[in-house]
Amino acid sequence: MTAAPAQHLPRAGSPTPHTLVWGETWPVLEDFRTLAGERRVVPVVRRLLADDVTPVGLYRTLAASRPGTFIMESAEIDGGWSRYSFIGVASRATLTVDGDLAVWHGDVPAGVPTTGDPLEVLEATLRVLHTEAIDGLPPLTGGLVGALGWDVVRRWEPTLPATTPDELGVPEMTLCLASDLAVVDHVDGSVWLVANAINFDDTVDRMDEAHADAVRRLDDMEARLVAGAGTGGIDVPRVLVDTPEPELEFRSTREEFEEAVRQGKKAIVDGEVFQVVLSQRLDLECTASPLDVYRVLRTINPSPYMYYFQLVDAAGADFAVVGSSPETLVKVTDRRVVTFPIAGSRPRGATPAEDVELGIELLADAKELSEHIMLVDLSRNDLVKVCEPATVEVVEFMAIKRFSHIMHISSTVVGALRERATALEVFRAAFPAGTLSGAPKPRAIALIDELEPASRGIYGGTVGYFAFDGTMDMAIAIRTALIRAGRASVQAGGGIVADSVPALEYAESRNKAAAAVRAVQVASRLAARA
């Protein structure tokens, strides 16, 4: 099997992804043999009618919180759900980091480095497994899915060595080689079961065996869905019990955080930066399962990016990332790069009239507008690094975007990816988001190291995927809980500018952490109804 840009045209009379009826499998063996001769990865799919199941129910039935599994969903700005929800059922391998070296757990495809510089291993993996998209399938059928933490920036910024203690102990990169997925299509009520046939030995001798194995995995997923049909994957009803909520522990005192804000303002006055983003971490006990935390969070704070990843570190220890982020880092689709800088916020109004008034007030706030314009310029500069310069443009400027509990000023910056540039290069150009660092980025990051007491871990990093076909969708890891060994950590912050008020910045960081903290607290009080 070798990767090739050509797209296979099925023989006359055979099913295609566009014509699949419920219960039918694609590709059939003859078409699979042709596809397998052209590409390293072939998604074998089956489409089922499943309009009565939920993404959480599917995850519970098919994935059961095993390491290397995930849920990715999206709530539209108007309160509805986007078309697809992605459930990671199984991963053949997980790429993570131990010190300065990449580490794989599981089955590693032939041709992929098993160790070395983590970014070089990631780049090689995406290159070896690159496969052109197949028309008619959902937008994600396989790829590297997971989280990249704040400190991954130090891999390509040697002038920014880590200087703060790593108190959370999670890798800067954990990406699952997603092989089996269930994709919910909320428009037509179907579920796509996907079993990727990945050529692990780089030979053509086992095509029929690979197809049979993929079909067997589809059969197994379908059988588990049928077996769970009596419950629909539904957990027993839960109620809140009268137990104390976990108490918050603050990594920084209020005085320490406000002093950091004052130091950040001094750096701005001294001309070191235009803005710096400072954050604080809150820790609390978590007796709930990460899945229950996700269930609560998606209910109380639906957002464009909602996710639950069950992951492992280099030593094989489990941890989970649960979040509800409103903000894209960057997307690449059909070689079009898009980013949505967000800065400036107000709570939603209690009435439609108050909601409109708050939006008008936000657009009249000189501090918020100044910060937003700076971040739009930063996004344009990021995209120029990897796009054809003449194609980079702001197609929407300072629009009010309303989410479930908050509104933001948002703009849209787009560009056409340069020839031979990759999604990983786009990621490097855009990361970290200016909304989480400040500007200029290198000095702002160094200042964060000076003023924050510990490494950020997942916070300010990204969650999402690098698909096998070269597309990418990465959210900024905010409004997110890291759950490990019975503890949850939530971090939040805000952009510091010359006229920032330390007390207000402290309150804003607490408010931004509230939804994820509340989800942990509520989930920890859930119990089965007797």
Q: Tell me which of 125, 295, 495, 506 is the catalytic residue.
A: 495
Cα distances from 497 to residues 275, 367, 370, 438, 501, in angstroms, run 5, 8, 10, 9, 9
Concatenate the DSSP letters of all residues of 452-481 into one string: SSS--TTTTSEEEEEETTS-EEEEE--SEE
Calpha distance 69→89 (Å, rounded)? 6
Contact 460, 437 (CB under 8 A): yes
Which residues pair with residue 465 across a beta bridge?
Answer: 145, 473
- 3-state SS class at 203: coil
Q: Tell me which of 305, 459, 465, 506 is the catalytic residue.
A: 459
Closest to 4 measured CA to CA, from 129, 101, 111, 120: 129
Phi-psi region at 116: left, alpha or beta (left = phi > 0; alpha = psi -120 to 50): left
Calpha distance 269→273 (Å, rounded)? 8
Sign of CA dihedral 22, 25, 27, 30: negative
Extract the tokens encoding 192: 């796509």
Contact 98, 312 (CB under 8 A): no
Calpha distance 503→381 (Å, rounded)? 32
Calpha distance 197→312 (Å, rounded)? 23
Q: Tell me which of 346, 408, 428, 456 is the catalytic residue.
A: 408
Q: Tell me which of 281, 372, 456, 479 is the catalytic residue.
A: 479
Calpha distance 419→461 (Å, rounded)? 27
CA dihedral (286, 291, 294, 295) in degrees, to 10, reads: -110
Q: Tell me which of 174, 435, 471, 480 is the catalytic residue.
A: 435
Q: For helices 502-523 and 290-300, what crossing angle results, to 10°?
A: 120
Residue 479 appears among annotated catalytic residues: yes
Extract the tokens encoding 209: 């065996």
Q: Would strands 84-98 and 69-73 be described as parallel, antiparallel, or unpaired?
A: antiparallel
* Helix, strand, coil percent content, the chain, rounded in steps of 5: 30, 30, 40
C-alpha radius of gyration, the chain, whole number = 23
Calpha distance 72→306 (Å, rounded)? 6
Cα distances from 404 to residues 43, 185, 193, 283, 494, in angstroms, run 36, 23, 31, 25, 20
Contact 435, 330 (CB under 8 A): no
Residue 495 appears among annotated catalytic residues: yes
Residues catalogued as catalytic: 408, 435, 459, 479, 495
